[in-house]
């Protein structure tokens, strides 16, 4: 059977402060600049999740994208949307909320929950001009 890749984009709004608590304020300011402003800021994030697998010959799907959407809503958006990524999310404790780290954390959150297909890519857009992608490597 042909192998294809299907992608679902979802969005969420969240606040964050790019800040490493192992470093002092001056070090944070020196590394992260305005991204470490003390009272935080936020973004409209766009999340693109791609899964890869054989197309089911009867159904015609690699994976039902409504099921992938539901999984993203339950496992990711329910926790991240309208949240503060530094303090509100248990599975982001100890994660400096850079786009790279968020993409890896979302990958780890999803990896064991896709059946019948392989998680291929998690790409997170922080703005229309900045993104990070993790492929599990």
Q: Rule CB under 8 A: which residues touch a copy of itself? A: 2-11, 13-16, 18, 20, 22-23, 31, 33-35, 37, 39-44, 55, 58-62, 64-66, 81-84, 86-88, 95-101, 103-104, 127-135, 137
Sign of the CA dihedral with 136 first, then 18, 47, and 77 last: positive
Q: Which is nearer to a copy of itself, 75 or 137 (CB)?
A: 137
- Clarify whether 26 is annotated catalytic: no
- Clarify whether 126 is annotated catalytic: yes
Cβ 53 vs Cβ 68: under 8 Å: no
Q: How far is the CB of 70 from a copy of itself (least distance, A)?
A: 12
Query: Catalytic pick from 43, 82, 100, 128?
Result: 82
CB under 8 Å to 15, separation ≥6 — which residues? 40, 41, 42, 83, 84, 85, 86
Task: Tell me which residues are annotated as active site.
Answer: 35, 82, 126
């Amino acid at each position: 059977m042909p192998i294809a890749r299907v992608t679902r984009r979802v969005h969420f709004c969240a606040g964050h402060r790019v800040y490493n608590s192992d470093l002092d304020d001056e070090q944070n300011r020196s590394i992260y600049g305005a991204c470490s402003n003390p009272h935080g800021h936020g973004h409209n994030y766009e999340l693109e999740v791609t899964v890869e697998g054989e197309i089911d010959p009867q159904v015609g799907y690699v994976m039902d994208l409504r099921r992938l959407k539901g999984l993203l809503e339950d496992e990711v958006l329910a926790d991240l949307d309208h949240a503060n990524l530094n303090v509100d999310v248990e599975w982001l404790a100890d994660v400096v909320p850079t786009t790279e780290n968020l993409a890896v954390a979302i990958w780890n959150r999803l990896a064991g929950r896709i059946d019948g297909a392989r998680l291929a890519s998690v790409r997170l857009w922080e703005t229309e001009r900045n993104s990070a992608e993790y492929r599990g490597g």
